[in-house]
Structure formats: structure tokens, C-alpha cells
Amino acid sequence: DVKVTQSSRYLVKRTGEKVFLECVQDMDHENMFWYRQDPGLGLRLIYFSYDVKMKEKGDIPEGYSVSREKKERFSLILESASTNQTSMYLCASSPGTGAYEQYFGPGTRLTVT
């Protein structure tokens, strides 16, 4: 079974803090993704990565950065957290070329106060 884990299920941070969300997959998948999910807006892609040290902007990259130093780990960084970044953050991975199905981690519910 594919397993995608995320570092925290719930996180509360203050405005202006630097926040790290970590994601690890154990299936040697090539591709990793970060989404946020908000009521009424659905899932929105923040960043994705097709290889170690590679990153591509998704639909809403502003205010976020990512890091992929190892194949199994993909980190999302909020450089200076703001209240409008309160959301559910979901990490996903997919096998790679020709196999696009994505598998999600359990999610991190982040609250910025």
C-alpha cells in the first residue's frame, strides 16, 4: 500500500511565523504535490515536484515555497504565515511517467491566529 505521511494533523501558528509542513512517501514515487483545500473553493494546487531539487509553481504559489532535497520528502514552507493561509494542507504523490494517479496524505489542518 502506498503510504504518504504528513508531519502534523493539527497546527496552530501565529501571524508572521515561519511554518514548515513536511510530507514523506514510502513508495519511491517520482512526483509530489502540495494542495490546500478550503470550503467552497475545493482543492487548489500550490506547488509540485517531478524530481529531487525540482519544483514547479501550481495555481496559487504566492506566499509559499517548497523544498525537495530527497526523493521521498517534500516540504512546504510558509515564509511569513498570514491568517488567509488558515486551511487544510494536503500532500500527494504519484508514481511518475504514464501513471498519474495521486495518493494523498492525511492532511494538516493549519490555523494561523
Q: Which of 54, 52, 47, 53 lies closest to 33 in space, CA to CA?
A: 47
CB of 11 to other proteins, least distance (A): 15
Instruction: State yes or no: residue 102 binds other proteins (CB under 8 A).
Output: yes
Residue 80: CB atoms within 10 A of its CB come to 11
Within residues 25-64, the interface with other proteins by CB under 8 A covers 33, 40-43, 45, 48, 50, 56, 58
| 84/97 with CB nearer other proteins | 97
Q: Which of 88, 90, 72, 76 lies closest to 31 in space, CA to CA?
A: 72
Q: Letter for the amino acid at 16?
A: G
In the complex, the residues that contact other proteins under the rule CB under 8 A are 33, 40-43, 45, 48, 50, 56, 58, 90, 100-107
